[in-house]
Amino acid sequence: MTLRHRFLPLDNTRLAHLCGPLDEHLRTIEAALGVTLARRGDQFRIDGAKGRPEEALALLETLYAKSARPLGPEQVQLALAALLAKRQKPARGKRGGAHDDAQPGPDDEPDEGPLLTTRRADLQGRTSNQVEYLRHILAHDLTLGIGPAGTGKTFLAVACAVDALERSMVQRIVLTRPAVEAGERLGFLPGDLSQKVDPYLRPLYDALYDLMGFDRVTKAFEKGQIEVAPLAFMRGRTLSHAFVILDEAQNTTPEQMKMFLTRIGFGTKAVVTGDVSQIDLPKGARSGLIEAERILRKVKGVAFTRFTQHDIVRHPLVARIVEAYDRDNQNPEPARTA
């Protein structure tokens, strides 16, 4: 199928921004949507299987409207992620548990959803699942976000925590994750406790710096408004009037997960995130995240959001890598020996 199109009114500056340096953005769209884009001057020709040229044209028109300023690769990739999410037709039931409000149907268009108060003024959900995730966090005391890397589980949870702190809805943010090595033996780490656990908690620091700025984060740590600690140090505590995030929860044991969930005090909101396809526990050990999803499915006040590769907002290659691994897990090829 072939479509021909001209953008009117013609604006050569917008056209250059839309195409990117050496038509880089057009090549990105071609690879992601499986189409061929040819341009001569202000005329575009789009070839592809049934339905794909229309998708590509709709995406180009959306980006053209935003191209008063140069478009970065990230903006193109986010627009692609939103488009690919619309293709998704999951069998949606009561995904958030028996006590959740009505869930969006498979044909619902993702809307902008909640807008969060952080240093990044444009921060909001980019896909329907991300919007649902933000709404679950705002409406429930405990939310579990489960899905592959790059879907925004941790970043959006930290953004909600920063938003709650900015609005004085909580008195502090507590970030934690299990100190489990990802298939490597790091051995003895020198330094004090903070220096020992920093490598495990670095992704949480990165999100905070992005959302608040280095100076504000430093001051918040000094005032005790932000606390970052390994999961082992949560035992025996009651966390009240706080926003608590457990990251990399797939690497908790069922006992650790129960311990964490029973730390929740009055005025506290908790978010648990993890990717059950990347469990680094010893062979044969059960994941606390998988157990929690099974046990808490019908508990009132608990919401679940399941992300897929369609929600990945990193480089498009990441989504294709995740999809390839999922296919291999479903139909593994026999291991080859030398």
Please check whether residues 137 and 272 belong to one and the same domain.
yes
- 335 domain-assigned: no
- 337 domain-assigned: no
- 331 domain-assigned: no
What is the C-alpha to C-alpha distance for residues 207 and 211, in angstroms, rounded to an integer? Answer: 6
Average pLDDT, the chain: 82
- 271 domain-assigned: yes
Do residues 181 and 135 touch, judged by C-beta distance below 8 A? no
- 225 domain-assigned: yes
For residue 14, the domain's CATH number is: 3.30.1370.10
- Tokens of residue 26, six digits: 């057009």
Domain boundary among 40, 60, 86: 86
Domain boundary among 52, 86, 120: 86
What pLDDT, in 10s, does the model give residues 220-270?
Answer: 999 999 998 888 888 889 999 999 999 999 999 999 999 999 999 999 999
Residue 111 to residues 59, 104, 108, 131, 143, Cα–Cα distance (Å)? 16, 11, 9, 7, 20
Q: How many domains does the chain have?
A: 2
Please check whether residues 275 and 234 belong to one and the same domain.
yes
End-to-end CA distance of the chain: 46
Please check whether residues 43 and 183 belong to one and the same domain.
no
- 320 domain-assigned: no
- 321 domain-assigned: no
- How confident is residue 195, by pLDDT bands cut at 50, 70 and 90? low
- How confident is residue 194, by pLDDT bands cut at 50, 70 and 90? low
- Tokens of residue 260, six digits: 């964490």
What is the C-alpha to C-alpha distance for residues 66 and 70, in angstroms, rounded to an integer? Answer: 9
What pLDDT, in 10s, does the model give residues 138-192?
Answer: 999 999 999 998 888 999 999 999 999 988 999 999 999 887 654 444 455 566 5
CB < 8 Å & 24+ apart, contacts of 169-173: 170/241, 170/242, 170/243, 170/267, 170/268, 170/269, 171/225, 171/241, 171/242, 172/224, 172/225, 172/226, 172/227, 172/241, 172/242, 172/243, 173/220, 173/225, 173/226, 173/227, 173/242, 173/243, 173/244, 173/245
Domain that holds residue 60: 2-86
- Tokens of residue 119, six digits: 């240093």
- How confident is residue 100, by pLDDT bands cut at 50, 70 and 90? very low
Do residues 113 and 139 touch, judged by C-beta distance below 8 A? no
**What 8-state DSSP symbol labels residue 224?**
T
pLDDT for res 81: 73
Please check whether residues 79 and 117 belong to one and the same domain.
no
Please check whether residues 114 and 136 belong to one and the same domain.
yes
Please check whether residues 291 and 191 belong to one and the same domain.
yes
Please check whether residues 69 and 106 belong to one and the same domain.
no
Domain boundary among 60, 86, 112: 86
**How many angstroms from the chain centroid is the CA of residue 290?**
19
- How confident is residue 8, by pLDDT bands cut at 50, 70 and 90? confident
- Global pTM reads 0.69
Please check whether residues 201 and 149 belong to one and the same domain.
yes
> Is the confidence at residue 94, as pLDDT, over 50?
no
- How confident is residue 103, by pLDDT bands cut at 50, 70 and 90? very low
- How confident is residue 74, by pLDDT bands cut at 50, 70 and 90? confident
Please check whether residues 30 and 106 belong to one and the same domain.
no
- How confident is residue 216, by pLDDT bands cut at 50, 70 and 90? very high
- 151 domain-assigned: yes
Please check whether residues 160 and 266 belong to one and the same domain.
yes
For residue 170, the domain's CATH number is: 3.40.50.300
Please check whether residues 76 and 108 belong to one and the same domain.
no
Q: φ, ψ for residue 38 (rounded to 5)?
A: -120, 135
Nearest C-alpha neighbor of 152 from the set 82, 96, 94, 64:
82
> Is the confidence at residue 332, as pLDDT, over 80?
no
Q: φ, ψ for residue 164 (rounded to 5)?
A: -65, -40
Q: Strands 2-6 and 142-146, how do they pair?
A: unpaired
Highest mean pLDDT among 82-86, 259-263, 325-329: 259-263
Question: Three-state DSSP class for 293?
Answer: helix
pLDDT for res 330: 76
Please check whether residues 181 and 244 belong to one and the same domain.
yes
